[in-house]
């Protein structure tokens, strides 16, 4: 099918590449001219595992092209809107870009189009889209509007798109539902050639859930808010563990064994970040407020999350006493591993707080340093984890990249000024760290000193 994707961010680019991979003819547009020319020249505007290879493959096969919004609107029988919906100062989602695209479709398209909102939008945005398409239509456009929320995680978005647990569509006409079913048929049947797994693990066919537009829109916000609530919940349990002398990793394990709770998203740490959870929780609170529902539960989720940075800084202060003039290593800047995305990354907030108190930061991240430099230039950016730790009074692990787990601790011990690791993600093996003479401080009562090494490794 001829499909268009408007917006080449994480979601749009993954959507365009994967839809082309499963056999569709896709045109993807981007309004940022610099980004667009990079994509047209075969470059990548962002880091996302596997995406570059998939794009190369489908472009070579002639199934993916990049260009302007106008060209995209003219191309596709179905148009996916994947533009940004950033937060406004009052927490509402800014729907400016969506409105602009609706206007452009209304003015530029003729015949029939299925307009699909994939960007995360407040409930009833579909109704607004319908209204604006009809108000601005000048060339006899016939259309349906549908919602198709994405559940892609940055870092694993290609796999998430091609092997989803569920595909949710919200359509208010049989025609729209049928088109979406046809678009996703190769994924529902898992009948495409998988570009990332040589012997693709059969993950079970995804569930195709068709609802009305309003319900589909709500599913997205409710899912993200629920996951954020799980994280804030375990972060509060971690605080309690620290006071009463319990170990949050054991508490989380015990809780997660109950299938009604499940073990995922129970990792405590410095709080959730990224461009989705913080803004989606805020937007969901506002949506509820405007509908007369006081969702104060989510206000607490947000408040707990905002408190994570200060609590972590307090932990650093407790250990180092005076921060002024101290050299501190920061391992990890991205809001989570396997991405270069630093938007709303707790690591950046922590660095700013430490700098405000006079600390000097030496930072390293495998992918996110270019983006971080634009946000906080006054940091010493280093080649690797060892260089970042050299001469420092503490190493703070703020993003749980796999390579930090593989550090040669005995080598590291010779480089630091003081052997102290503060693990903001409970990602490191305590035994490895303390048996090499480091004092280890984790989140939620999982700290250990070198003296406890033999007890931990059972000798
Ligand atoms: C999230 C959702 O997981 C996706 O389903 C959704 O499609 C996406 O938002 C979106 O709305 O577009 P993402 O933001 O890529 O995906 O990242 P997550 O893996 O969900 O992590 C979000 C944040 O929570 C990160 O800062 C992570 O470090 C933190 N987190 C996650 C924890 O602190 N603890 C956990 O146990 C899990």
How many residues make up the chain in this entry? 459
Q: Is the CB of 36 under 6 A from ligand 1?
A: no
Sheet of 64-67, strand order: 64-67, 25-29, 2-6, 78-81, 112-117, 142-147, 166-171, 207-211
Q: Is the CB of 151 under 6 A from ligand 1?
A: yes
Of ligand 1's listed atoms, the one at least distance from the Cα of 120 is: 11
* Confidence at residue 458, expressed as pLDDT on a 0 to 100 scale: 66
Of ligand 1's listed atoms, the one at least distance from the Cα of 228 is: 24
Q: Is the CB of 312 under 6 A from ligand 1?
A: no
Question: What is the 238 CA–ligand 1 centroid distance (Å)?
Answer: 19
* Confidence at residue 199, expressed as pLDDT on a 0 to 100 scale: 67
| Residue among 18, 276, 293, 382 flagged as catalytic | 276
Nearest C-alpha to atom 22 of ligand 1 is from which residue? 272
Q: Is the CB of 430 under 6 A from ligand 1?
A: no
Q: Is the CB of 273 under 6 A from ligand 1?
A: yes
* Confidence at residue 418, expressed as pLDDT on a 0 to 100 scale: 97
Phi, psi (deg, nearest 5) at residue 122: -65, 155
Of ligand 1's listed atoms, the one at least distance from the Cα of 345 is: 26
Q: Is the CB of 231 under 6 A from ligand 1?
A: yes
Question: What is the 444 CA–ligand 1 centroid distance (Å)?
Answer: 20
Per run of 10 residues, the mean pLDDT along the chain (length 459 residues) is 97 98 98 96 94 97 97 97 92 92 92 95 93 87 96 95 97 96 96 82 82 97 97 98 96 98 97 95 94 96 97 96 96 96 97 98 97 97 98 98 97 97 96 95 91 73
Instruction: Provide the CB-side half-sphere exposure for 227 (13 A, CA).
Output: 15
Q: Is 276 a catalytic residue?
A: yes
Which residues sit opposite 114 in a β-bridge? 78, 144
Q: Is the CB of 336 under 6 A from ligand 1?
A: yes
Per-residue 3-state assignment (H helix, E strand, C coil) for the chain: CEEEEECCCHHHHHHHHHHHHCCCEEEEECCCHHHHHHHHCCCCCCCCCCHHHHHHHHHHCCCEEEECHHHHHHHCCEEEECCCCCECCCCCECCHHHHHHHHHHHHHCCCEEEEEECCCCCCCHHHHHHHHHHHHCCCCCEEEEEECCCCCCCCCHHHHHHCCCEEEEEECCHHHHHHHHHHHHHHHCCCCCCCCCCCCCCCCCCEEEEECHHHHHHHHHHHHHHHHHHHHHHHHHHHHHHHHCCCHHHHHHHHHCCCCCCCCCCCCCCCCCCCCHHHHHHHHHHHHHHCCCCCHHHHHHHHHHHHHHHHHHHHHHHHHCCCCCCEEEEECCCCCCCCCCCCCCHHHHHHHHHHHCCCEEEEECCCCHHHHHHHCCCCEECCCHHHHHCCCCEEEECCCCHHHHCCCHHHHHHHCCCCEEEECCCCCCHHHHHCCCCEEECCCCCCECHHHHHHHHCC
* Confidence at residue 203, expressed as pLDDT on a 0 to 100 scale: 63
Of ligand 1's listed atoms, the one at least distance from the Cα of 335 is: 26
What is the best residue among 224, 252, 424 to mutate for testing ligand 1's pocket, by most ligand atoms within 8 Å of CB? 224
Of ligand 1's listed atoms, the one at least distance from the Cα of 269 is: 33
Q: Is the CB of 276 under 6 A from ligand 1?
A: yes
What is the best residue among 158, 206, 336 to mutate for testing ligand 1's pocket, by most ligand atoms within 8 Å of CB? 336
């Amino acid at each position: 099918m001829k499909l268009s994707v408007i917006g080449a961010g994480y979601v749009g680019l993954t959507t365009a590449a994967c839809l082309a991979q499963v056999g569709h003819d896709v045109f993807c547009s981007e309004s940022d001219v610099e980004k667009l020319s990079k994509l047209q020249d075969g470059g990548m505007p962002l880091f996302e595992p596997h995406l570059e290879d998939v794009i190369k493959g489908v472009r070579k096969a002639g199934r993916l092209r990049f260009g302007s919004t106008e060209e995209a609107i003219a191309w596709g029988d179905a148009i996916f809107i994947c533009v940004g919906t950033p937060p406004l100062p009052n927490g509402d989602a800014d729907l400016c870009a969506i409105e602009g695209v609706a206007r452009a479709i209304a003015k530029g398209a003729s015949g029939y189009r299925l307009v699909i909102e994939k960007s995360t939008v407040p409930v009833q945005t579909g109704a607004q889209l319908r209204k604006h398409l009809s108000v601005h239509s000048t060339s006899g456009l016939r259309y349906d509007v549908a919602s198709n929320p994405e559940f892609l995680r940055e870092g694993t978005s290609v796999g998430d798109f091609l092997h989803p647990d569920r595909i949710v569509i919200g359509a208010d006409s049989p025609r729209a539902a049928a088109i979406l079913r046809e678009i996703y048929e190769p994924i529902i049947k898992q009948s495409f050639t998988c570009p990332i797994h040589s012997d693709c693990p059969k993950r079970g066919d995804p569930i195709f859930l068709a609802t009305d537009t309003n319900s589909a829109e709500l599913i997205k916000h409710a899912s993200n808010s629920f996951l954020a609530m799980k994280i804030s919940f375990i972060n509060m349990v971690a605080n309690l563990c620290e006071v009463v002398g319990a170990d949050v990793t054991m508490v989380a394990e015990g809780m997660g064994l109950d299938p009604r709770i499940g073990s995922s998203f129970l990792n405590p740490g410095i709080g959730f970040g990224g461009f989705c959870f913080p803004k989606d929780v805020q937007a969901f609170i506002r949506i509820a407020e405007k509908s007369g529902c006081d969702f104060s539960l989510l206000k607490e989720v947000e408040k707990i999350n905002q408190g994570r940075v200060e609590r972590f800084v307090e932990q650093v202060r407790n250990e180092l006493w005076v921060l002024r003039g101290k050299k501190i290593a920061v391992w990890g800047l991205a809001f989570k591993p396997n991405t270069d995305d630093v938007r709303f990354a707790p690591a950046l907030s922590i660095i700013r707080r430490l700098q405000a108190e006079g600390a000097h930061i030496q930072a390293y991240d495998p992918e996110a340093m270019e983006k971080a430099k634009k946000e906080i230039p006054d940091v010493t950016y280093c080649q690797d984890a060892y260089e970042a730790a050299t001469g420092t009074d503490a190493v703070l692990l703020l993003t749980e990249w796999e390579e930090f787990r593989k550090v040669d601790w005995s080598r590291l011990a010779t480089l630091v000024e003081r052997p102290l690791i503060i693990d903001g993600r409970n990602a490191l093996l305590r035994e490895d760290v303390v048996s090499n003479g480091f004092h280890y401080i984790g989140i939620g009562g999982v700290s250990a000193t070198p003296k406890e090494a033999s007890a931990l490794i059972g000798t």
